[in-house]
């Protein structure tokens, strides 16, 4: 009887959704931030001087590995991971799944968190992402630097996942999966429509209700596998040119300095505007104007 009971308990795993196997080469880009990682709830958790930083950078690496496992299970033949948080030197290289290659540190180019992506990729995945500045019940919500209060393109206010999706779309690559807190997942779904998401935690004011890391890993693995096994569902995220950036900053000093960037125009209290037909040009301007 015990053996029968054990077998019955295993049935839900046996009956998990079947995944179509990918055919041919499948190249996947994974951009990994840290604020949206399981258990992270305080800025100390993601800062090198924080006493628990090493613990959370390991969890960050583990969640990245879960995404890699899902990608490989779906047939991925090439995987590039971009460390996208802070110093861009957070993921532990020796603990990263060896089936992936890792991009560390900042190049100074306009792709920033998407450094390395190009038209050769089939899909983009976001791990550890967070909601935009000012989002209610979101964990460590912000947009780029702490000096940015809003980033919008053609009238659409966006989190980092939004403009990073536009960078992927620039190369005709769809974003197919995102993991972070519940608020991030809702924002990504609102922008992209059909996208797989996994909420690893939910904000309660500045507190968080969070999954166990092992549960997050399994959900990420299965979600990535499901997304990559059904690529026909997804479309690259694009907007029509020209791309008009409206950038709102926190201080007079920041706005004044940003207004000197060629083509930038001050359009309101602590607000700058910049427009171009090339989205990477807009991202370069954004990097210069917010410093």
Q: Is 85 annotated in the active site?
A: no
User: Count of H helices and E strands in the chain?
Assistant: 7, 12
Active-site residue, selected from the candidate residues 130, 142, 212, 217: 142
Q: Is the dihedral of CA 36, 38, 41, 45 positive or negative?
A: negative
Per DSSP bridges, beta strands 271-276 and 265-268 are: antiparallel
Q: List Cβ neighbours of 250 (8 Å cut-off, separation of 6 or more).
A: 146, 147, 148, 149, 270
Backbone angles phi, psi at 45, to 5 degrees: -65, -25
Does residue 161 sit in helix, strand or coil? helix
Asked if residues 84 and 117 have their Cβ atoms less than 8 Å apart, the reply is no
Distance between CA atoms of residues 49 and 44, nearest Å = 7
List, by residue number, the catalytic residues. 142
């Amino acid at each position: 009887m015990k053996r029968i009971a054990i077998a019955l308990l295993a049935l839900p795993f046996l009956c998990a959704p079947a995944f179509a196997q990918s055919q041919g080469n499948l190249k996947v880009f994974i951009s990994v931030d840290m604020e949206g990682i399981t258990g992270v709830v305080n800025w100390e958790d993601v800062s090198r001087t924080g006493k628990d930083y090493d613990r959370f950078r390991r969890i960050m690496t583990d969640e990245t590995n879960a995404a890699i496992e899902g990608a490989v299970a779906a047939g991925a033949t090439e995987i590039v991971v971009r460390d996208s948080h802070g110093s861009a030197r957070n993921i532990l290289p020796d603990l990263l799944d060896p089936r992936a290659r890792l991009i560390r540190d900042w190049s100074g180019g306009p792709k920033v968190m998407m450094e390395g992506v190009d038209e050769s990729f089939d899909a983009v995945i976001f791990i550890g992402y967070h909601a935009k500045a000012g989002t209610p019940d979101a964990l460590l919500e912000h947009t780029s630097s702490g000096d940015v209060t809003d980033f919008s393109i053609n009238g659409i206010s966006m989190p980092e996942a939004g403009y990073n999706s536009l960078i992927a779309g620039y190369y005709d690559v769809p974003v197919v999966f995102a993991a972070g807190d519940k608020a991030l997942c809702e924002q990504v779904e609102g922008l992209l429509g059909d996208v797989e998401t996994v909420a690893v935690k939910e904000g309660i004011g500045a507190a968080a209700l969070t999954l166990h890391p092992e549960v997050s890993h399994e959900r990420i693995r299965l979600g990535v596998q499901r997304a990559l096994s059904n690529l026909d569902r997804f479309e690259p995220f694009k907007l029509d040119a020209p791309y008009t950036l409206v950038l709102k900053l926190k201080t007079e000093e920041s706005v004044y300095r940003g207004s000197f960037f060629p083509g930038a125009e001050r359009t309101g209290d602590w607000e700058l505007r910049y427009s171009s037909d090339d989205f990477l040009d807009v991202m370069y301007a954004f990097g210069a104007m917010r410093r």
